[in-house]
């Protein structure tokens, strides 16, 4: 079973992949229904569901909308589906959504994930100071790659080596230039997180996703099903609903006559 936090992240990613909230919800529900019936671990099932959702979004892209007046909103939905997925996963997914995990979902190297994340953030850099690198590079300054800087990796909590992280923390105490570069990146990153949160506020159908996952689990493990749940699933079948409707009509006719 997926955690509610993972399902909430999944629903936000669905909202990011389609501009229309109804299309987002329908696509997310269909995808999670299909994947939840497979015999996979929750982690692998969620990754497979996201890969499938992304492919569906690429086949059915977001149509341009003349009604979206907000500039940042327009810019966000002009990002590629991969870039939108990466940003939302990093902002909503918590520590479990690393570059390595996203590389498996997207089928690309982790460094490419970094580059897409940075490119997306630069495109959303509207009305904010440009997150330039250090103005002066000293002999002990970490190497700064303009396409995937260490400042982004640091803020995304992707510097996993305790030795490298300690070096950076100590270096930032003594290097004004690197500290300023990190500050500019932090301002950009946090501002984009706030704006994306406003954009995707309506996209939360995690409770509907949880209900689907619960029903799928019971279908795969019928011994765990109680009487009430069994009747509920039984009544959900189309042919049963038609039979009950016909029976109700016959009973009503008998009462009338």
- Among residues 165, 210, 6, the alpha carbon closest in space to that of 95 is found at 6
Per-residue pLDDT at 188: 95
CB 106 within 8 Å of CB 113? yes
Per-residue pLDDT at 2: 73
pTM for this predicted structure: 0.79
Per-residue pLDDT at 245: 53
Per-residue pLDDT at 41: 85
**Tokens 């977001």 belong to residue:** 62
* Distance of alpha carbon 202 from alpha carbon 195, whole angstroms: 13
Per-residue pLDDT at 223: 44
Burial class (CB in 10 A: 0-12, 13-18, 19+), 166: exposed
Question: Cα-atom radius of gyration of the chain, to the nearest Å?
Answer: 24
Per-residue pLDDT at 72: 57
* Distance of alpha carbon 31 from alpha carbon 20, whole angstroms: 17
Residue 96 backbone phi and psi in degrees, to 5: -75, -5
Residues of the chain with pLDDT under 70: 1, 61-73, 95, 206, 212-257
What is the number of residues in the chain? 257
Per-residue pLDDT at 1: 64
């Amino acid at each position: 079973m997926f955690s509610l936090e993972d399902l909430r992240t999944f629903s936000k990613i669905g909202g990011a992949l389609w501009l229309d909230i109804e299309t987002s919800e329908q696509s997310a529900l269909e995808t999670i229904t299909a994947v939840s019936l497979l015999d996979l671990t929750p982690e692998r099932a969620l990754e497979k569901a996201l890969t499938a959702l992304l492919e569906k979004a690429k086949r059915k892209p977001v149509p341009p909308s003349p009604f979206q007046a907000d500039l940042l909103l327009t810019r966000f939905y002009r990002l590629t589906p991969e870039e939108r997925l990466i940003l939302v996963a990093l902002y909503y997914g918590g520590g479990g959504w690393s570059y390595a995990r996203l590389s498996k979902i997207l089928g690309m190297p982790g460094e490419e994930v970094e580059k897409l994340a940075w490119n997306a953030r630069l495109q959303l850099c509207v009305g904010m100071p440009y997150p330039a690198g250090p103005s002066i590079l000293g002999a002990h300054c970490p190497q700064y790659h303009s396409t995937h800087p260490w400042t982004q990796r640091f803020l995304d909590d992707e510097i996993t080596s305790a030795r490298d992280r300690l070096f950076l923390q100590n270096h930032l105490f003594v290097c004004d230039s690197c500290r300023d570069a990190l500050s500019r990146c932090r301002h950009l990153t946090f501002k984009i997180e706030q704006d994306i949160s406003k954009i995707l506020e309506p996209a939360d159908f995690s409770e509907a996703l949880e209900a689907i996952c619960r029903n799928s689990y019971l279908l795969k493990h019928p011994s765990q099903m109680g009487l009430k749940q069994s009747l509920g699933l039984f009544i959900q079948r189309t042919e049963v609903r038609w039979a009950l409707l016909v029976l109700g009509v016959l009973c009503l006719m008998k009462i009338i006559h």
